[in-house]
């Protein structure tokens, strides 16, 4: 019987495996598309088999036997004697049915995935978390080495990796679009870009030398469009050992890209809002002219550091600076040049102080510096170093025509007259007054 089947199917067109027992049948069944078995003898062997379609061969017309075969999972029946044309027709019909079933299963899986992605999009208010869950889901379905969502800024035309499936913390990586012609193509064409082989695709010609050692074979880029504007792309890569993207995978990713558009736009707005909040926070604590901290922020930090100093009995010092003869600078060069000199002085001071120190503009040409965990000797050494730095600096704002010197007053805790944070400033101010009265361009310690 098996020889007649083999002859009818032309072994050159089909891969045929003949088994003599149930154990071999079960072993080969997972790789089979169609199984031929005799009825009723083979019915007890095919019950545990799932996947392949089964054609039964019988010489009986007994309805009870045929019903038994149908219940056992037989998909079609061949009656003996074997007619080669009938074998071929029934086999091809089974293959078509199997192909349709596989396609239907994939469609169901894809729909389930889209439903799940839609559920993810509405599961949290954090857009960055949503986008990570989306790329993670795609990477679970499609074997890829890279799956990222990239945001495109329409104004600056730069690309930013918002989310990547490898790590939820990955983000904020800027991409040079000149090195990603496939992304540029997707943005300009507003259509999916499929690179089946990076070694041969003309789109990749200009960057082939750059990516040749990265082990990439295929690339898929899908534009994410929100309100008729390309706001990002879904970016996937497979390794050289992998396969290219199938049409069904492209279709699924396109649907996911569409479902992600709102989340990506929200991520963009969220990022802009965070950036604006940070900008406003900086403005609230920054002196508008010099760019260093304002006195309001300085007082806030002074309270914290003074309390910490008292709690742990640690030293703390305060330096007050004043530019010597600043009125003469304004009178000689004008107030605009005077403001430029203040900005330049602030820049020099910022570079001169430690990260742990708090530098602020006290008002006019006066500056104040808080030195946590610094005793009087340390503060004096720091003050002399800063005074010397300013004295030697050639001010571009004054065209190098005039040097600037500063007077500095120091107060430090512990000291019997310093009981509150305001006392620290008052004592430093008193020492500064003495420095100016004594001839300027010097450091005086409150005693």
pLDDT of 380: 96
CA diameter of the chain: 125
Residue with tokens 């039964």: 56
pLDDT of 383: 95
pLDDT of 73: 75
Average pLDDT over residues 47-69: 76
More confidently predicted of 242 and 102: 102
pLDDT of 17: 66
Residue with tokens 């020889």: 3
Question: What tens digit of pLDDT does each residue of 151-175 get?
Answer: 887 666 678 888 888 777 777 788 8
Measured CA to CA, the distance from residue 149 to residue 165 in angstroms comes to: 9
Q: CATH homologous superfamily of domain 2-102?
A: Response regulator (3.40.50.2300)
- Taking CB atoms within 8 Å and a gap of at least 24, the contacts of 104-109 are 106/248, 109/141
Whether the model pTM is above 0.85: no
Which among 380, 262, 264 is positioned nearest to 315, based on CA atoms?
Answer: 380
- Band of pLDDT at residue 298, cut at 50, 70 and 90: very high
Residue 279 CB burial class (10 angstroms; 0-12, 13-18, ≥19): exposed
More confidently predicted of 34 and 334: 334
pLDDT of 328: 92
Computed over every residue of the chain, the mean pLDDT equals 83
Segments making up each domain of the chain, as ranges: 2-102, 124-274, 295-445
Which among 426, 385, 425, 444 is positioned nearest to 305, based on CA atoms?
Answer: 425
- Band of pLDDT at residue 130, cut at 50, 70 and 90: confident
Which among 133, 150, 158, 121 is positioned nearest to 220, based on CA atoms?
Answer: 150
Count the neighbouring beta carbons within 10 Å of the beta carbon of residue 21. 9
pLDDT of 145: 84
Which among 415, 407, 406 is positioned nearest to 444, based on CA atoms?
Answer: 407
Question: What tens digit of pLDDT does each residue of 190-224 get?
Answer: 898 988 888 888 998 888 888 877 888 888 998 88
* Structural domain 295-445, CATH architecture: 2-Layer Sandwich (3.30)
Question: What tens digit of pLDDT does each residue of 239-252 get?
Answer: 756 677 888 888 88
Scored b (16 or more CB within 10 A) or e, 175-190 reads: beeeebbbbbbbbeee
- The alpha-helical segments, DSSP class H, found in 142-201 are 181-189
Average pLDDT over residues 95-105: 79
Crossing angle of helices 127-141 and 247-285, in 10° steps, is 160
Question: What tens digit of pLDDT does each residue of 335-380 get?
Answer: 999 999 999 999 999 999 988 999 999 989 999 999 999 999 999 9
pLDDT of 235: 87
Average pLDDT over residues 124-151: 79
Residue with tokens 């078995």: 37
Quick check: 21 pLDDT over 80?
no
CATH code for the domain defined by 124-274: 3.30.450.40
Quick check: 381 pLDDT over 90?
yes
pLDDT of 301: 94
Measured CA to CA, the distance from residue 414 to residue 78 in angstroms comes to: 104
Quick check: 315 pLDDT over 90?
yes
Q: Kindly state the tokens that stand for 41.
A: 């003898």
- Band of pLDDT at residue 317, cut at 50, 70 and 90: very high
More confidently predicted of 273 and 194: 194
Lowest-confidence range among 115-124, 128-137, 414-423? 115-124
Q: What is the CA radius of gyration of the chain?
A: 39
pLDDT of 226: 82
Count the neighbouring beta carbons within 10 Å of the beta carbon of residue 415. 14
Quick check: 265 pLDDT over 80?
no
Average pLDDT over residues 382-411: 92
The percentage of the chain sitting over the pLDDT mark of 90, rounded to a whole number, equals 32
Residue 289 phi, psi (nearest 5): -85, -45
Residue with tokens 């010489």: 59
- Band of pLDDT at residue 12, cut at 50, 70 and 90: low
Measured CA to CA, the distance from residue 408 to residue 432 in angstroms comes to: 5
Greatest mean pLDDT among 3-17, 125-139, 340-354? 340-354
Average pLDDT over residues 139-143: 80
Torsion of CA 162, 168, 170, 172, to 10 degrees: 30
């Amino acid at each position: 019987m098996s020889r007649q089947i083999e002859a009818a199917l032309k072994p050159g067109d089909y891969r045929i495996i003949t088994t003599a027992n149930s154990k071999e049948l079960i072993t080969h069944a997972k790789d089979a598309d169609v199984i031929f078995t005799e009825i009723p003898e083979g019915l007890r062997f095919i019950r545990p088999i799932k996947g392949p379609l089964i054609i039964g061969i019988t010489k009986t017309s007994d309805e009870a036997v045929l019903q038994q075969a149908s219940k056992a999972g037989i998909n079609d029946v061949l009656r003996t004697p074997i007619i080669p044309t009938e074998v071929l027709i029934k086999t091809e019909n089974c293959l078509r049915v199997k192909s349709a079933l596989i396609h239907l299963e994939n469609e169901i899986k894809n729909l389930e995935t889209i439903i799940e992605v839609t559920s993810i999009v509405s599961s949290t208010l954090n857009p960055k978390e949503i986008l990570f869950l989306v790329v993670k889901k795609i990477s679970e379905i499609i074997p890829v080495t890279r799956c990222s969502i990239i945001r495109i800024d329409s104004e600056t035309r730069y690309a930013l990796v918002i989310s990547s499936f490898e790590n939820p913390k990955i983000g904020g990586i800027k991409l040079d679009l000149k090195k990603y012609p496939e992304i540029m193509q997707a943005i300009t064409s507003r259509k999916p870009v499929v690179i089946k082989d990076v070694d041969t695709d003309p789109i990749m010609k200009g960057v082939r030398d750059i990516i040749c050692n990265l082990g990439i074979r295929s690339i898929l880029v899908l534009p994410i469009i929100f309100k008729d504007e390309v706001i990002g792309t879904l970016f996937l890569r497979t390794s050289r050992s992998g396969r290219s993207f199938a049409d069904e995978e492209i279709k699924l990713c396109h649907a996911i890209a569409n479902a992600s558009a709102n989340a990506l736009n929200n991520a963009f707005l969220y990022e802009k809002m965070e950036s604006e909040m940070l900008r406003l926070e900086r403005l609230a604590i920054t002196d508008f002219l010099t760019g260093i901290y304002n006195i309001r922020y300085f007082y806030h930090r002074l309270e914290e550091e003074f309390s910490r100093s008292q709690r742990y009995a640690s030293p703390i010092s305060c330096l007050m600076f004043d530019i010597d003869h600043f009125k003469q600078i304004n009178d000689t060069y004008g107030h605009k040049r005077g403001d430029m000199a203040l900005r330049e002085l602030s820049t020099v001071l910022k570079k001169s102080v430690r990260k742990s120190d708090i530098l602020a503009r006290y008002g006019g040409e006066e500056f104040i510096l808080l030195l946590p965990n610094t005793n009087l000797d340390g503060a004096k050494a720091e003050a002399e170093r800063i005074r010397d730095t300013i004295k030697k600096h050639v001010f571009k704002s004054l065209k190098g025509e005039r040097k600037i010197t500063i007077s500095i007053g120091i107060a430090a805790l512990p000291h019997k007259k310093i009981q509150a944070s305001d006392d620290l400033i008052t004592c430093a101010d008193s020492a500064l007054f003495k420095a100016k009265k004594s001839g300027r361009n010097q450091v005086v310690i409150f005693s």
